[in-house]
Amino acid sequence: MKTMIAALAALSLATPLAAQDYRFSKEMASGTKLSIENINGSVAVTQGSGRTAEVLVTKIVKKGDGSLVKAVMETDGDGIRVCTIYLNHDRNRNSCKGDNSSNSRDGDNFQVEMQYVVKVPAGVRLSADNVNGNVTARGLDAPASLETVNGDVTFEGATASTIQTVNGKIKGIFTRGSWDGKMDIETVNGGVDLTFPGTLSATITGETVNGGISSADFPITIDGKWGPKSFTGRIGGGASKLNIQTVNGGITLKRSGGG
């Protein structure tokens, strides 16, 4: 009996506690902005079929007091923001503004993940920020900004203003060959793999410290000197601006099959 009790106790400690869901929805007009801010866990975004933004956040408590973490939604200018907040400093906190530091939580005995699944309406701009976890966005038709610190970033859609991570790789598949403003693609520890249509027209600055640069599918007119670790040049007419930076990883530019 004692052996069975000990085995059941060990099993219960090894199994994550029950998940808890938060569901948010709001109608959003084209041109407005949906901001997602997470701390620990994944963010996965796709484009929805209607005018309603839908955000499902699943809380998974692996260790510690799960009641110290929750998700909230608030108005943010002409758009909305959904964020993860910590309540260790203020149990009554109900806003994205505030202190999310972990110095009063129980160190290694605290582990809570918030997994975001998001549907964004057509024409709504996405801003997704994370700290520990991957960020994925697929099928978006409006400019997006995707950032994380520890995790990979994957983007498939029309265009992006910013795609950044520190410890992770970046993969982007773009359906537009030109865009307004500058697109910044940056990581520190990871490679950058970008695919564009054959209509790509961009002035490109690329730099890597420990890695190569490959652009076999696109002829680049070099302005100045080609690397092998850096280059500045033009593809097509050079209409748009593209900045690609990594430290430990290579840069690859590819042409999509559709041309």
Sketch the domain layout of the chain as residue ranges. 17-122, 152-259
Tokens 């758009």: give the residue.
Answer: 79
145 in Cβ contact with 127 (< 8 Å):
yes
Of 41-45, 85-89, 100-104, 119-123, the poorest mean pLDDT is in 100-104
Other beta carbons within 10 Å of 87: 16
pLDDT tens for each residue of 200-213: 999 999 999 999 88
What is the reported pTM? 0.88
- pLDDT of 254 reads 95
Whether 13 shows a pLDDT value over 50: the answer reads: no
d(CA 180, CA 125) in angstroms, rounded, equals: 14
Put the strands of the sheet holding 52-63 in their side by side order: 20-27, 52-63, 111-120, 43-47, 135-140, 153-157, 170-174, 192-196, 251-255, 213-214
**Burial class for 200, CB neighbours closer than 10 Å (0-12, 13-18, 19+):** buried
- pLDDT of 8 reads 39
**SS3 (DSSP) at 59:** strand
Beta strands in 87-218 (DSSP E): 111-120, 125-129, 135-140, 144-147, 153-157, 160-164, 170-174, 182-186, 192-196, 202-210, 213-214
- pLDDT of 228 reads 67
pLDDT tens for each residue of 98-131: 888 765 555 567 899 999 999 999 999 999 999 9
DSSP class of 107: G
